[in-house]
Amino acid sequence: MRPAVHIALAAGTVLALAGGGLMLFAPQVPALWQEGFPPLVWTGEGTFAVVNGPGAPLPKGVPLPAPAAQPFADGESRALLVMRDGQLVHEVYGPGIGPETRLNSYSLVKSLVGALVLLAPAEWCENPNSGRVSAYCCLCATPRDWAKVAHYLLQNGTGAHPFLPDTLWRDWILPDLAPAVRHAGAYGGHLRHDVLDRPDEALQGPFSYMAGHGGQVVYLLPARDTVVVRFGARPQLLHTTLYELFPE
């Protein structure tokens, strides 16, 4: 038998074993290949598990201040919302996106999964083989719902019904970190921790944020009782935009 035939048979055997292994141990991979990589904007197609939650209307927020509007456009952003004291302060959307558009969380959801299921309507991407949903990808909900959930987390629930025990919540959202550690950026409990400390800026202090593939970000700013939600087609230097959102 010629060497080329041996190589072809060996390659075929390896491919067959690999394919069988995928079907046995990772059936979601062929399903993902069939359905395609989940898009940023929910199309209503594919296999989804629907989660219904109580809706709560919000008054419309005003457009972004001029210094923040240009970075929004330049960064291929799809939505940027600022909620303070439970009310929308700023609200802006990219072309073809609106308040009712459901956007994909990608891995952003791993930080929000516990609260979002309880608070907001959503569609979960479901594995058609196992019938399970993943906490690491593909929860599609409106930016307004993300803002409400982020505020819920920032407030640690609803007063009479805390989301976490107070000590655990404080360790989760504002852990006691050395200034140098926080300045360099830290990660824990599916939250990232940093500090706003640019000289001569009005916005100062520690903050936490959640991040997902492609630049989906939710900021929690405890000192301002504020959350900022951003969805986009690619990452944006949003830390800088935060200063521009709060000029005073």
- pLDDT tens, residue by residue, 36-71: 666 777 776 666 666 666 566 677 888 888 778 887
Does residue 35 surpass a pLDDT of 50? yes
Task: Summarize pLDDT for 207-223 with one digit per residue, the tens.
Answer: 999 888 878 889 999 88
Residues 79 and 29 occupy one common structural domain:
no
Residues 46 and 168 occupy one common structural domain:
yes
> Looking at the 3D structure of the chain, how many domains does it have?
2
Residues 136 and 226 occupy one common structural domain:
yes
Residues 18 and 67 occupy one common structural domain:
no
Residues 169 and 194 occupy one common structural domain:
yes
**Cα–Cα distance measured from residue 231 to residue 147, given in angstroms and rounded to the nearest whole number:** 11
Residues 183 and 238 occupy one common structural domain:
yes
Residues 59 and 2 occupy one common structural domain:
no
Does residue 134 surpass a pLDDT of 80? no
Residues 32 and 118 occupy one common structural domain:
no
Residues 86 and 71 occupy one common structural domain:
yes
Q: Are 45 and 34 in contact (CB under 8 A)?
A: no
Residues 8 and 47 occupy one common structural domain:
no
pTM recorded for the entire structure = 0.76
Burial class (CB in 10 A: 0-12, 13-18, 19+), 132: exposed
Task: Summarize pLDDT for 174-204 with one digit per residue, the tens.
Answer: 888 888 898 888 887 778 899 988 888 888 8
Residues 184 and 211 occupy one common structural domain:
yes
Range of the domain at 45: 37-245
High-pLDDT (> 90) share of the chain, %:
7
Task: Summarize pLDDT for 91-119 with one digit per residue, the tens.
Answer: 999 899 999 898 888 877 777 664 444 44
